[in-house]
Structure 1
């Protein structure tokens, strides 16, 4: 055997021996680097649902029986999803690059970490390949591979009927929601020109659109929609990860589908959008035509009815309900005593954890309350509703100081022993107003609800009617020059303030329809630019935030 032949045989034997000892991936004699999972260049990877970092469950078998985490010893993984796309994320050693391919061709398109990869319906095979940074050849992606894994993903279809909302609620109008019912007719009064809709999906991964605008968990899945008079068709669309969608339709009739809705003048749009689900008197024996947007009711009962059991159930079980300052029981009930032949103002307050509240007032008359035979009140003092041409006496009606029952319909009334009762009186020395109840006692240091004008007043410790700012129980209130407690927006010396439904001064953020305002710690409405909790905001001249 000549030297040349012996040299060739020696080279072949050496190559064979090296191949037996070292993995093929360390060889590049032929120009191809093969991938095997025994390497640790990739320490972890994750297959995620469409446009998220929520990982799919990985299996080591095609029957989806044995789940597994990433292991370098496993080179083929299985997963299933209804998503129309996925993305893969990797933990790769430095100086290496990992790409994903949808096919096994040498000119396949690479997808980077986190990049969305569309899936066909049925079986999809993805190839995860790692290269040294300088060795990736886009013209032949099957060369110089350091590691390779296969992921077999089964894309399953889901039924549209399974894509559902878990809740639809409205701030006006009634809706009895069911997941499977997709069309609703809702009547609202003609004064309601905007409606707030809440539509929560049955799964957080679902996308929800209300009237074409996407809503998210960050905004409580709420959207305000303008209403024109007559019929308004509003669509709510819920879409899953696969693009399957379901549409709920609200047919909202502004002004009512029929003419049976409550008179517009009764609707209270000044208070917070929090409501009672139901308001019932004496188990329904006392009729009350309840509408959640109506907050004032006049109720007449027979003189034999000495007490009234009020059941006030909130729309949200977490809300607090009080009747004349006292909490209702576990059945949402509270009983209030009634005086014969008098009218009693009963307040029902519902309040949530955010401080939003709504007050319903029941003016309940038991028996007969005598009225003036002549009520020629041609001149009225707006500060105290005292009439100047009232020719009759012996009138009675009710006012309350918290839960104190006092009769006060009659102005300028005195008893036979000259005791002043149920009357506003102006003190000639202080030039201030004070009020005497039906027992002739001066009301002092308390709130006073005057039923004749449905307003709240405050009498200070000396019994004088308060005006201007009032600090009480760590809250601020504003009473105008007539002593009337203010609610809603108030402009004082060019500065706007907002008073809640209970009269307390609002601070912090305030949402009104589609507009959002900010009230500073002193109650003043913010305009211009301001940094709030580390974030910069711009407010226009009306106080509405523009960013």
Structure 2
């Protein structure tokens, strides 16, 4: 919170000091006594002025100072309790903040990027105790600025809800084993451990996402889309998404083979045109004419060549929707308008309207033609480019490469003969840095845009990139010189033959180098801190294991160097 002091609320009655008082007087004082609260409450700006809770079946729920405490009214205190005892699946909260333009948002998680609910939204709850966070923000635009750091609010209230009965969506047909949390890199999920089916929607341009599924117990096994995940990879797996519907299974299993399956129904884009039922109210232009219809997403506008700038207005149907024009967000305080500079010729301007809470989005496209379309062989930032062929040219935006026809090379790989490196030029002709996906393969480019190969470290993780720059996954073998050769100082045979050994590595689905235990094909393997697969004896967490020549963990009875050993089903040596 952006306050010097965060007030932590508890509604209590305390007797701080009791002077000389007779037992009779004390008994008289406390018999039938009730806690005393302020008779009136005058909230300051940013504080809640109303707070009401109802079950989804319409029953009004009391605010209390504890789950079994006394009924209280809204006051300067900021922590409250309530009980949901009927068969409702959840609650609705209505709340208003004091002060013009202040908004209230409700969260079911303390995560910095938690999904926001508006007052009046249905909030599903599972059986047990749940903590909700009710926060106030100076305005909707101020909230939009901190939506990835939602605790940066004006005031925070905590509502603790105890639900005494199971909800209808809770799946009691499966075993009593649960995940603690599911997180997604794309889309939104309001996870409840008893709910096993979720519908998730992502944009059409999202072709992959990571899924993190954390079990309640560290000893439980978790599989995401068929692959085992564990603490070494933060219980995370990256999955590819087809256009349309994708069904992804997450299974959690304990040592007694109790199992629960969660299903994520992920829709990438839309079955038709990837447009949701969310609309602008109107689009206005300071120049030219537009016959706007909210269902039509594309418009062509012809302007005189003398028009170099245009003001575009795009007001949403609902004030809670966010609007961007040509990549910049516009707000009600701007009358949802933006002034856009126009190049000569064709200008394509995107206007997006988005409902962030319900993950809905629609894109309107304005094609504005300013006079005669400009020659593509010229760059508007640099003027005449007729003498700029097959070379790098520095523009106002950065370095761009002009091909043999004098055109800017865009959305393409380029081999720089002078630097002897490959680089990738984006849709604007600028060099890409960092991770880049092309034709379903991932590449890593350094800070100057040069494509990297071999072993590379990024964000404290190691990745292996092939000779073509593509990121590798799965098993990988490297043949290297045996570092143990000729280490015996007493040996001086003059034999200079270099002995080779094979080192095996495993790259996770996200390309990161595997360390620790791995289950693959029904067998267990162990990878050292440097990523090499272990062979021979291993001591791990006070247990001793043996990894065979192919790296797989031994179980049962094995003869090793002429001696018989016994291992349990988990591979640990039985002493």
Q: Do these two structures clear the TM 0.5 threshold for a shared fold by scoring above it?
A: no
Larger Rg: 1
Query: Greater relative contact order (Cα 8 A, min sep 6): structure 1 or 2?
Result: 1
Q: TM-score, normalised by structure 2?
A: 0.30
